[in-house]
Structure 1
Amino acid sequence: MTEPKYTSILKIGIDIGSTTVKVVVLDEADNILYRAYERHFSKVREKTEELLNRASEILDGKQVRILITGSAGLGVAKSADLQFIQEVFATAKAVRSYIPNADSVIELGGEDAKIIFFKGSLEERMNGSCAGGTGAFIDQMATLLNVSVEELDELSQHFEKIYPIASRCGVFAKTDIQPILNQGGRKEDVAASIYQAVVDQTIAGLTQGRSLGETIVFLGGPLYYYKGLRKRFTETLGLDNEHAVFPENGDCFAALGAALSTDGYESTPFGDVLRRIRESVDDATHTNTMPPLFTSQEEYEEFCKRHNSNAPPKTDISSYTGDAWLGVDAGSTTTKLVLIDENCGILYSYYGSNQGNPVGIVLAELKKIYELAGDRIKIKGSAVTGYGEELIKNAFNMDLGLVETIAHYQAARHFNPDVDFIIDIGGQDMKCFKIRNGAVDSIFLNEACSSGCGSFIETFARALGYEIGEFSKLGLFVEHPVNLGSRCTVFMNSSVKQAQRDGATVADISAGLSISIVKNAVYKVIRAASADDLGKHIVVQGGTFNNDAVLRSFEQELKRQVTRPVIAGISGAYGAALYAKDTAPENPGLLTLNQLADFTHKARPITCKLCTNHCSLTINTFDNGRRFVSGNRCSRPLGKQKNDLPNLAKWKYDRLRSLTGVPGPRGKIGIPFGLNMFENLPFWHTFFTRLGFEVVLSPESSRSIYRLGQHTIPSDTVCYPAKLMHGHVISLIDEGIDTIFYPCMPYNFDEGAGDNHFNCPVVAYYPELLAANISELEKVRFLNPYFGLHRPKDFAKRAAAYFKGEFGIPAHETKEAARAAYKAYEDYKSEIRAKGEEYIKYARDNGKKILVMAGRPYHIDPEIGHGIDELAVSYGFVLISEDSIAHLVKKEPRKVLNQWTYQSRLYSAARYVCTQPDMEFIQLVSFGCGIDAITTDETRDILESGGKLYTQIKIDEITNLGAVKIRLRSLIAAVEARERT
């Protein structure tokens, strides 16, 4: 069959995205003659030329009109002197041509996510530098689960439950996913949860309060190829087949639109187009560079010799006879095992990816160890550490569990008894702690970001087509490592791409990334001003420091030599083995080889209904009926009663929720229960009750309340407590409340403890934002006046005028209600202080430690605090809040401007804790809180100057408490070690 001859001018649309190239060729009647969709692996010009060459039978000798579009297309268009069209116009052209009734478009690409609104004015909203919720995010998550993206999609279609997972960037999500896997969560559930995270990120991050309309078109490779992702979008948005449109060429729609848009442009011979693109391939400019890591092979060999001298003895397991001790480190991305002999020599070790199944890995390795040990070696004790500690301990009946910080200290002091600073960098976790007088002192842990960790560099290695080991070695001897700065992974994507466009080689980028990891660790996690802030005897651990480029960068940045044991990658497991050797019980409980032969493990997800937390539990069942429940915030799912130690956070929450409405002659008035209402509710409840209103509170916060208002949130970077307010307001409307009161309050009560008494800007003005973004408020009466409760006489006067105008209430009634409200507020504050005294006395009478959980009033909301208070109480603390003790110290000037009421309490409480030997302090911080960029450093300075440990816990919408447990247990271990010295 001969090919038809085309004498007319052909149309070419090329869409060059962040990860793929799409090419569409149309004839004069707009029929598709050729289409292609392939990944470019950062070689955008080469791949574009390749795809065009494949269409040469159609295009050779033809005149063509061509338009290039896409996030990476502008550079190609400029260097090749070809026409460019902005992708929103290209996509809009295709949508209007094929789906004219579309209200909006949701398009997901490799690293780009966008929504285009058609009804009303044409508007595009696009993700910034963050690739969370895109194809690259899905790729990363598939790698984490050790499956292909196709397998991930298939798994997602067999889920039973959805876990809450962050998707604003891959490293946040990994922090949420890994503990689920380590605790036995099903991959099917995790896969579907990953897709749900993409949906939530797109809706919350890009709609920003604007309605998507009825008919939505879904475009881009991920939405074209992944059926599970399609299902999560359609179910979440409540769309049927008629209103959810997935076009036949949805993966190439922007390229199709570009081709359709070529009408009116001058034609060019195809050969000329191909030549221009080919000649633009090697276009390069100057790149910002840094000094080399090593200048010679000899320098590198001396470096290796120095570090390789720090090694434990190795013993041949096949000939050794005697006692042994086992250590396991079930880390965030890897599983490590070490078996040591009587002299602390290593008989056996293992280091590998946990492949989303740490139980299976440990099972296989234990069988191997028993087979090698035979009857000659008796395992006298075992210990486990890491994210999967509880699961592995329960699965294999291991003797001991210990927090990672202590495990790593055990290993570090074995190699350097004078160690005064330890830094461990793993796949996603970074743990740094100072050692003072032989005990752990200050503790630093990375938050939900792993930009200074191993997964950071591994992500880029794979994206560039290399395995991590090969990639790391590339940069050792390059003359000009590229300066990529120190930013998070997804922000770094753009830096790497720019460096490639500027002519940097993969080796230059490899060295630059190694240096970037170190800068992130030193200046973002540790926040060191100089090397002296760390110490003189520094031990580095973790698999990331097996990378010589990272280790060299670390020494260069600190301008001093450090100790890296040869076993850096398995330090946690080695430390656990040492701990087992020192403290194992007389009768070890580790499963025998015969028991392992019958070992079984099944995991089943459920949602606990025993309290309002509604924890996502995983029920792990092993042979002989052994069981382990993970994901719980309290002991009730385990068949136990809640710990009855005093918990002031819970008392305050229950006290506020008890303020129910009393039916009154003036009807109902709704109050959204969030933000500063956790501070001011006793005031407003009394005020409106005295005025004859029935006060109706919005329901308790929950994930469903958040999703109820998710589509109206205009900013994904605002704190979670603020995001929840959208759902609280809508829930009141859905209940039929036609009058909602939520005032703007720039000032809080003046407690005389600071330089001023502001509310933070979010708390102060959020009612204005709600009014502007929640269209449902147009159906009800939304009262959001400006009031200042810090001036009682002025408030009474202003309130009298306002409520007379709104409801015709006589001024004397309003003023009387105001007097009663101020008294109710003062009584509530007195109750808190009295409860604080009562709980402190209880702790001291019963020999219990006291933990001050300091933050904002709304951090006691169980949906916001995620049960951290209950977790702390389960560890044996009596828990009180900062506002129960802040009044016990006099005002004192601070280094920073102390102008917010909540923060003034924070500083005062920290100062008071420094005077109490039986009190410890943790600070809760909301992600997105700009003010806490100031308060965290100031609070740390107060506590450490007073000889106390500083522990910070950042919280957002994700409920996983794995990192919180590490912090609390590290605090407990550090306090115990300090008391022993």
Structure 2
Amino acid sequence: MSLRIGIDIGSTTVKVVVLDEQNKLLFRSYERHYSKARERACETLRSIQDMLKGQMVRMVITGSAGLGVAKAAGVDFVQEVYATAAAVRAYYPDTDAVIELGGEDAKIIFFGGALEERMNGSCAGGTGAFIDQMATLMNVTVNELDELSLKHEKIYPIASRCGVFAKSDIQPILNQGGRKEDVAASIFQAVVDQTVAGLTQGRELKGKIVFLGGPLHFLMGLRQRFVETLKLDEAHAIFPEDGDCFAGIGAALCSSDYPEQSFDDLLKRLEESVDATNTVDTMPPLFTDQADYDAFVTRHNANHPPEADIHTYAGDAFLGIDAGSTTTKVALIAPDGGLLYTYYHSNLGNPVAVVLEQLKEIYKLCGDRITIRGSAVTGYGEDLIKNAFGCDLGLVETVAHYNAARHFNPDVDFIIDIGGQDMKCFKIRNGAVDSIMLNEACSSGCGSFIETFAKALGYSIADFAKLGLLAKHPVNLGSRCTVFMNSSVKQAQKDGASVEDISAGLSISIVKNAVYKVIRAASADDLGKHIVVQGGTFHNDAVLRAFEQELGRNVTRPTIAGIMGAFGAALAARDLRLNASGLLSEEALQSFTHSAKPVTCGLCTNHCALTVNQFDGGRKFISGNRCSRPLGKEKVELPDLMNYKYKKLRSMEGKGEGTGVRGRMGIPFGLNMYENLPFWFTFFTKLNFEVVLSPESSRKLYIKGQHTIPSDTVCYPAKLLHGHVEALVEEGVDAIWYPCMSYNNDEGIG
């Protein structure tokens, strides 16, 4: 038998192996290809020419990026699941499941009977690229991340569905003094959770499990998290010596089914395919020329508040503050909505200090000419700022944004606000907010999406955005996960696309993600006819133009798109029509003091983590409480009705008035069974069953049933019930009662 060559071309690496007649490994290589897969494969084959020159060989290509290379070169191809399965059956025939993590894909293959595969789809969270992103965030190499993780003492819960959301979890931990060792291990735990929860889909991971792919081959900390989470011993957790190129070994094994060919001819065909021109999928330009862009800018610049000058204006004014989670925005307006003063800046984790400084500045500019008649605050820090400075009104963000949008377009029926990591969409009906949509597990339609690529290509976000405005051939990058898009960008660069074309293509991708992933619109009419756009991302003219082109209609972008929350709050303060504002005076600000300390409330078993904010004059504001008792507002001891209900339902267990001779009936203690338990307990005990309830809901109980969840899109309470059912199975009940109840009987009460 001739020598056999297997080439595994993945999303980020190329693996080449050579097997002899006895399946002995004669050569192996594992190299990153940096979007130049064909070149990398050819370089590796040229390096072993001395071994194979003039010989007849069998060669097969596999891998997620291998099909295109195989077709271009006329080389045989085998699907990677079959290649992996072939290698596993040859070397570990009693395997029950395979977990394989690659650069951008993750898969689980179940053996036993028919081969079953689970693979990640539109999200690359929990893959090698996700780990790369997190290492970059922590300013360490992947190997250093691995070494850190092996010294961990605790695990933090970190989102693994999206690299951007994970960043939001990690940053506060590091800012609050969390150990890098603990964060590193938590990142690996997030990968494990994503793999187990996202890919098992109703199948249990048990028996002998083989772990494959680069991340699981090189990262000892990741291995440790998998072994501990799945509770595997050495006999059931198999890490092959060549696990990083196992699919390549499988491809070589599969080549036995294909004809022999000349090695020299195969190498020549691969080399010729490198020079084959790849056509870049392009789209029409955002603007045809400079005049087209100038007309666009003129149209949108018309949406601005009336002109006002705080240095010359005299009269009444109204203050609006938007205390966001990361930024603070301030707007001081005249009665006609004219902007007298604006502020937009990071709050650096201390919004009170920022607002104090801004109020002092505003009072200094107002002098005796301007009187602040009303003030309102919205946003994440609404209650804190309202209590600290005596603002007259606190209002929810949606109302503040609607106030501002309505000021610029009285007929507004849809508002979309795109920030750095979040996206909010409001439908307006009959002058009120009718429905709200938010991005959940993916942030690829947000500002940080384009910021990531700007930094990677060495530009500031503002300069990068401008590059795409007049690009002639924007690259069609589709609407995909940030991690996947990274490969698309690299491929586009390889195929000759300019930075300008990529910038324009990314702006279009943000819009596609927003419209089709978050809003899930079938057409522009699903959004509305009078659309107002807000948020810092829409200051990017390329994104705004792409949004209009995708919808096929013009939209309204106020020139103050970034401070619309503060502007809307100021309008609400104006509409209060107060004679005098309760806002702290300029004199009171001079003696203003603020301190905050964390305390744990001991007034009940909730043990809420409170923050006690103390201000000058003995003023106090307590946040974090889930009831009014820490505020000292409880005059009488009220009964804990939730606790009463829980204990009452929990007591409905056992034989009741029956004998229990017909067996033990398990009932999951959650969802509709929780509410309907009095009926079912009476029903089954009257029939002489003994009722057994599942334990109280907990994180531990959720993990118990995690492997049985068939869909990642169901709600958390529904996922949690899988743990309740598993607990009843372990309890050894005779049957579990959980009927499908699409509706309850209407008893005509009320």
TM tier relative to shorter chain: 0.7 to 0.9
Conserved? CA contact 1:36–1:51, under 8 Å: no
Q: Which amino acid aligns with 1:687?
A: F
Relative to structure 1, the CA distance from residue 419 to residue 160 in structure 2 (aligned partners, 3 Å threshold; closer, same or farther) is farther
Partner of 2:584: 587
Q: Say whether 1:444 aligns with 2:436.
A: yes
Picking from 88, 96, 110, the partner of 2:103 is 110
Relative to structure 1, the CA distance from residue 267 to residue 522 in structure 2 (aligned partners, 3 Å threshold; closer, same or farther) is closer
Picking from 664, 668, 674, the partner of 1:672 is 668
Q: Which runs of 5+ in 2 are unaligned?
A: none
Q: Which amino acid aligns with 1:555?
A: E
Residue-by-residue CA offset, 1:362-417 (whole Å, 9 max, x unaligned):
699789979999988999999765456678889x9896865322443455466567
Q: CA deviation at 1:16?
A: 1.9
1:36-185 aligned within 5 A: 36-38=30-32, 40=34, 42-49=35-42, 55=47, 63=55, 66-95=59-88, 102-118=95-111, 123-139=116-132, 167-168=160-161, 173=165, 177=169
Picking from 714, 733, 741, the partner of 1:738 is 733
Q: CA deviation at 1:254?
A: 2.6
TM-score relative to the length of structure 2: 0.74
Conserved? CA contact 2:445–2:510, under 8 Å: yes
Conserved? CA contact 1:145–1:187, under 8 Å: no
Q: CA deviation at 1:359?
A: 1.2
Partner of 1:428: 421
Conserved? CA contact 1:9–1:267, under 8 Å: no
| Separation in 1, partners of 2:384, 2:636 | 22
Residue-by-residue CA offset, 1:830-869 (whole Å, 9 max, x unaligned):
8xx4xxxxxxxxxxxxxxxxxxxxxxxxxxxxxxxxxxxx
Task: State the secondary structure of the residue aligned to 2:267.
Answer: helix
Conserved? CA contact 1:314–1:345, under 8 Å: yes
| Separation in 1, partners of 2:179, 2:274 | 44
Partner of 2:532: 539
Residue-by-residue CA offset, 1:254-285 (whole Å, 9 max, x unaligned):
33444566568635445852652453454446
Conserved? CA contact 2:188–2:221, under 8 Å: yes
Conserved? CA contact 1:94–1:257, under 8 Å: yes
Partner of 1:729: 725
Task: State the secondary structure of the residue aligned to 2:108.
Answer: strand
| Separation in 1, partners of 2:462, 2:377 | 27
| Separation in 2, partners of 1:504, 1:741 | 60
Q: Which amino acid aligns with 1:453?
A: C
Q: Say whether 1:454 aligns with 2:468.
A: no
Residue-by-residue CA offset, 1:157-205 (whole Å, 9 max, x unaligned):
676765656645567x569849977997958676655543432332233
| Separation in 2, partners of 1:377, 1:51 | 72
Relative to structure 1, the CA distance from residue 151 to residue 654 in structure 2 (aligned partners, 3 Å threshold; closer, same or farther) is farther
| Separation in 2, partners of 1:609, 1:119 | 55
Conserved? CA contact 2:280–2:475, under 8 Å: no
Picking from 212, 216, 239, the partner of 1:219 is 212
Q: CA deviation at 1:687?
A: 1.9
Task: State the secondary structure of the residue aligned to 2:349.
Answer: helix
Partner of 2:709: 713
Q: CA deviation at 1:542?
A: 0.7
Residue-by-residue CA offset, 1:556-595 (whole Å, 9 max, x unaligned):
3444433323442344456567778999743279998999
| Separation in 1, partners of 2:612, 2:482 | 37
Q: Which amino acid aligns with 1:563?
A: T
Q: CA deviation at 1:253?
A: 3.2
Shifted more, 185-194 versus 234-243: the winner is 185-194
Q: CA deviation at 1:433?
A: 3.7
Partner of 1:782: none
| Separation in 1, partners of 2:459, 2:403 | 35
1:226-265 aligned within 5 A: 226-241=219-234, 243-259=236-252
Q: Say whether 1:359 aligns with 2:349.
A: yes
Relative to structure 1, the CA distance from residue 433 to residue 237 in structure 2 (aligned partners, 3 Å threshold; closer, same or farther) is closer
Shifted more, 365-374 versus 397-406: the winner is 365-374
Partner of 1:909: none
Conserved? CA contact 1:485–1:516, under 8 Å: yes
Q: CA deviation at 1:299?
A: 0.5
| Separation in 2, partners of 1:743, 1:620 | 42
Aligned Cα root-mean-square deviation (Å):
5.7
Q: CA deviation at 1:503?
A: 9.3
Conserved? CA contact 1:15–1:255, under 8 Å: yes
Partner of 2:199: 206
Task: State the secondary structure of the residue aligned to 2:67.
Answer: helix
| Separation in 2, partners of 1:92, 1:555 | 48
Residue-by-residue CA offset, 1:268-327 (whole Å, 9 max, x unaligned):
44585265245345444685x65432111210122223334555779899xxxx999784
Conserved? CA contact 2:17–2:25, under 8 Å: no
Relative to structure 1, the CA distance from residue 738 to residue 594 in structure 2 (aligned partners, 3 Å threshold; closer, same or farther) is same
Task: State the secondary structure of the residue aligned to 2:339.
Answer: coil
Task: State the secondary structure of the residue aligned to 2:205.
Answer: coil
Picking from 697, 721, 738, the partner of 2:693 is 697
Relative to structure 1, the CA distance from residue 442 to residue 649 in structure 2 (aligned partners, 3 Å threshold; closer, same or farther) is farther
Conserved? CA contact 2:479–2:510, under 8 Å: yes
Indicate the percent of aligned positions where both proteins have the same amino acid.
Answer: 58
Residue-by-residue CA offset, 1:893-952 (whole Å, 9 max, x unaligned):
xxxxxxxxxxxxxxxxxxxxxxxxxxxxxxxxxxxxxxxxxxxxxxxxxxxxxxxxxxxx
Residue-by-residue CA offset, 1:696-729 (whole Å, 9 max, x unaligned):
2212333322221222334434554543343222
Relative to structure 1, the CA distance from residue 248 to residue 382 in structure 2 (aligned partners, 3 Å threshold; closer, same or farther) is farther
Conserved? CA contact 1:367–1:593, under 8 Å: no
Picking from 546, 549, 561, the partner of 1:553 is 546
Relative to structure 1, the CA distance from residue 205 to residue 569 in structure 2 (aligned partners, 3 Å threshold; closer, same or farther) is same
1:394-409 aligned within 5 A: 402-409=395-402
Q: CA deviation at 1:96?
A: 5.6
Q: Which amino acid aligns with 1:344?
A: L
Relative contact order higher in (CA < 8 Å, ≥ 6 apart): 2
Partner of 2:469: 476
Conserved? CA contact 2:702–2:723, under 8 Å: yes
Conserved? CA contact 1:175–1:448, under 8 Å: no
Q: CA deviation at 1:739?
A: 1.4
| Separation in 1, partners of 2:528, 2:25 | 66
1:383-402 aligned within 5 A: 385-387=378-380, 402=395
| Separation in 1, partners of 2:526, 2:76 | 55
Partner of 2:273: 279
Q: CA deviation at 1:695?
A: 1.4
Task: State the secondary structure of the residue aligned to 1:359.
Answer: coil
Relative to structure 1, the CA distance from residue 589 to residue 446 in structure 2 (aligned partners, 3 Å threshold; closer, same or farther) is farther
Task: State the secondary structure of the residue aligned to 1:68.
Answer: strand
Relative to structure 1, the CA distance from residue 268 to residue 566 in structure 2 (aligned partners, 3 Å threshold; closer, same or farther) is farther
Q: Say whether 1:350 aligns with 2:342.
A: no
Relative to structure 1, the CA distance from residue 390 to residue 225 in structure 2 (aligned partners, 3 Å threshold; closer, same or farther) is farther
TM-score relative to the length of structure 1: 0.59
Q: CA deviation at 1:76?
A: 1.1
Q: CA deviation at 1:125?
A: 3.1
Conserved? CA contact 2:333–2:570, under 8 Å: no
Relative to structure 1, the CA distance from residue 369 to residue 697 in structure 2 (aligned partners, 3 Å threshold; closer, same or farther) is same
Partner of 1:294: 287
